[in-house]
Structure formats: C-alpha cells, structure tokens
Amino acid sequence: MADNIGSGTSTAVASYLYLDGNRFRLRVNFISVETLRRVKDVEFMGGNPALDFADTIGGFLVDEPAVEDELLREYEDLVEFGLKTGTLSERSAWRLRRAARERPEEAERVLEDARAKRALIDAAFRPLSEGAEPPAPVLAELRDFGAEALTHCELAPSGDGFGCAWEHCEDLEAPLWPIAHAALELLTDGPLDRIKTCGRCRWLFIDTTKNHSRRWCSTEGCGTDEKKERYVARRRARRARSSSA
C-alpha cells in the first residue's frame, strides 16, 4: 500500500548567489511539497475490477481514511480507473469526458454515487476476507446495482460466446456498470475463499498463490514496510535491554 496509496513527497529547490564581503555565497532553500497520488499513478493489485475499485481508497487498516487516501477526487478519476483496469475503452473514455465537461453537476453527483457504491462493494467483500458472510441488506443492494448494470449492457462477442459490454453508452454512470457486473460475478463464481485483506493497509485482493500464503497487497510495498518496522522494533528492544543490564 505504501507505494501505491496516499501522498508522495517531492522536493523543490531554490538557489541564488549573493555577495558577502568579497565572496559570493550560494544560498539554497529546500521546500518539501506534498503531492497527492492519482489513479493513473497507482498499480492496483486486487485481481478483480470490483476489488480494485474498493481499493481506490487507501490508508492503514487500523486508521480511518485520511483525505490523501482518497483516489476518487473528480469524475476524471473514474474514467482513468476504467482505462487502467480495462473496463472502459479509449473511445468510451473520450465520450464520457466530453459528457462530463458538458454536464459538470451531473458528473459530480455520479462521483458521489461512485464513492457510495465503492463502500457497498467493500461491505460485501471485506467480511468474506475475514471468514464471515456479508449482511443480507448489503447483498440485496449489490444485486440491485448489478441488475441496473445489466439493463444498460449490450451482448457482444467475447471468446467462444457473448459477454456484457457498455461500449456505446454515454451515460455518466457507465464506468460503474462493469464494476457492478464484476462484483456479482465474483460473488457467484468466486473464488471467495481466496479474498483477503492486506495485513497492513485496507486493500482487498485475491490470493492466487498455490498455498494461500499471500499476506500483503504488495510484497514490495506493505510487506517491505512491515519488515522494516519489525527490524527497527527489534533493534530498539535490544538497545533497551542492553542499557538496562
């Protein structure tokens, strides 16, 4: 999570020469600038578009999400998410961006609805990651969400048969429908026993390892950070024992 969610830090450097007696001195100012991560910068690791969508809010598992943990900040982020996860084509993205510019208030309402649907998906799959069943009202609402998506889909050739597609729709809610469909397919087809929560952050993912041993959303991110913290804690404990001896 640490490398994918939240804010990044960049350093702006300003320097100038000034005369001090008979010498020129170089003065350098360093300014630390917090930059918010964007959807296009994040590598999602959920293994399913519905879980990836739930993971558009980050932060540590034990903490409430902070402002910088939010990735869905504007309608453009919904479009970028669709492009990144393959649930929107470039042509659809172009149409939706144009429609959002023409109908900004509607785009803002859809964005709010997207965050609510994200919470719904989280409420359905997080209990499963903990070995529990989702609440019945949550499942009913997710069923209705999926049913709405199906009313807007086209049946298009896919592999050896046909699949749902939303290629020609200009409704601003269109980015949400493939996600709803993916959520229903995951609930009905599984593998539900492979859904896990990262041991450090709130990201959900499908564990595809043979022995079901995956603990982190990313070994390079949360896994490495956890190991570093353990190492520091062990060193601190050893120093404390040495000083008290």
Q: Which two tokens stand for residue 223?
A: 């896994």
Across 17-31, 147-161, 164-178, least confident range: 17-31
Q: Which two tokens stand for residue 14?
A: 């300003």
What's the farthest any 2 CA atoms get from each other in the chain? 82
Task: Give the CATH H-level superfamily of domain 38-207.
Answer: Jann2411-like domain (1.10.3300.10)
Q: What is the pLDDT of residue 60?
A: 86
Quote the CA–CA distance of 245 and 239 in Å, as a whole number: 10
Task: Choose the most confident range, by mean pLDDT, from 7-16, 55-64, 102-111, 192-201.
Answer: 102-111
User: What residues contact residue 28 under an 8 Å CB cut-off, 6+ apart?
Assistant: 13, 14, 15
The percent of the chain in helix, strand and coil, each rounded to the nearest 5, is 50, 20, 30
Q: Collapsing DSSP states into helix, strand and coil, what is residue 182?
A: helix
Structure confidence at residue 21 as a pLDDT band (50, 70, 90)? very low
Residue 23 has pLDDT above 50, yes or no: no
Query: What's the start-to-end Cα distance of the chain, in Å?
Result: 39
What's the rounded mean pLDDT across residues 52-66? 90
Boundaries of every domain in the chain: 38-207
Give the model confidence (pLDDT) of 119-170 as tens digits.
999 999 999 999 999 999 999 999 999 999 999 988 888 888 898 888 877 8
Q: Residue 88 in contact with residue 173, Cβ under 8 Å?
A: no
pTM to 2 decimal places: 0.79
Of 98 and 165, the structure prediction assigns the larger pLDDT to 98
Q: What is the pLDDT of residue 90?
A: 95
Give the model confidence (pLDDT) of 184-208 as tens digits.
999 999 999 999 999 888 999 999 9
Residue type, 98: R
| Measured torsion, CA atoms of residues 106, 140, 204, 202, in degrees rounded to the nearest 10 | 70
Quote the CA–CA distance of 98 and 117 in Å, as a whole number: 23
